[in-house]
Amino acid sequence: MTPRQPRIRAIFFDYGGTLDSRGLAWKEHFWPIYERYGVNVDYDRFVKAFYASDDSLVEEGRPDLDLHGIVHEQVRRVLMHLGIQDHDLAEKIAGDFCKSSLESINAAMPILEYLKNTFHLGIISNNYGNLEAICRQTGLDSVMDVMVDSRVIGATKPDSRIFKAGIEPLRLEPDQCMMVGDSLPRDVEGALKMGMQAVWLVPEEKRREAAEIRPSSEVHVITDLREIPGLTGMEA
């Protein structure tokens, strides 16, 4: 008897907070690194500086920067907004962040390669115009059929246009696609509005809370990408 094929034909992933960490958005991923290097500001002030840096990079668009380049520039601008000019400090913070990100990506690669045997894979990311450069540097381009960068197409999640930009090249219907991401409003609710299946990646300590506040029981809450095969009818 031929095994029943999964109905899902494509799986899309967010990049920041999903492939480069287990459910931690960049600002939460960055914050303990800043603390470790003695940047003594309260969290609210850090968040304001983080978003000021982030917004300026999105507005400019930086397709010329790979992962190391964009992270260093993000850190440099955060420190500038905090009134700190310290090149060595920026290098240390950016270096630790990149090391952690690459460790997460390398840990994810075996499951991505496994999923690639059955599904189309893609990334749909709110980014700075340099998603493809990041994917080339990290090796993610070797397993992705589609890489959609919000800065390139002019629409950010949860706008339906960014999801369409991922789905249409694969000639699939939304209900044949799954979106995996760490953001409830951008990844999960955006995908659901589009008619896709949604998987919410959260840190282990937030699993119970996420299960209670998810939009519906059809939204799967996971803490590890290795849980995905079990959601698609595959064996892990």
Pick the closest to residue 68 from 21, 38, 102 (CA basis). 102
**Residues 175 and 61 occupy one common structural domain:** no
**Residues 46 and 93 occupy one common structural domain:** yes
* Residue 3 reports pLDDT greater than 50: no
What's the pLDDT at 5? 46
The C-alpha atoms of residue 175 and residue 197 are separated, in whole angstroms, by 7
Quote the domain boundaries for residue 143: 10-23+105-232
What's the pLDDT at 232? 79
> CB of 104 within 8 A of CB of 19?
yes
- Is 5 inside any structural domain? no
Task: Dump pLDDT digits (tens) for 128-166.
Answer: 999 999 999 999 999 999 999 999 999 999 999 999 999
- Please report, for the domain that includes residue 43, its CATH number: 1.10.150
Residue bearing tokens 């300026």? 56
pTM over 0.85: yes
HSE-CB for 51 with a 13 A CA cutoff = 5
* Residue 184 reports pLDDT greater than 80: yes
What's the pLDDT at 226? 94
**Residues 163 and 132 occupy one common structural domain:** yes
Q: Domain end: 59, 87, 102, which one? A: 102
HSE-CB for 54 with a 13 A CA cutoff = 13
What's the pLDDT at 211? 95
**Residues 78 and 112 occupy one common structural domain:** no
**Residues 187 and 208 occupy one common structural domain:** yes
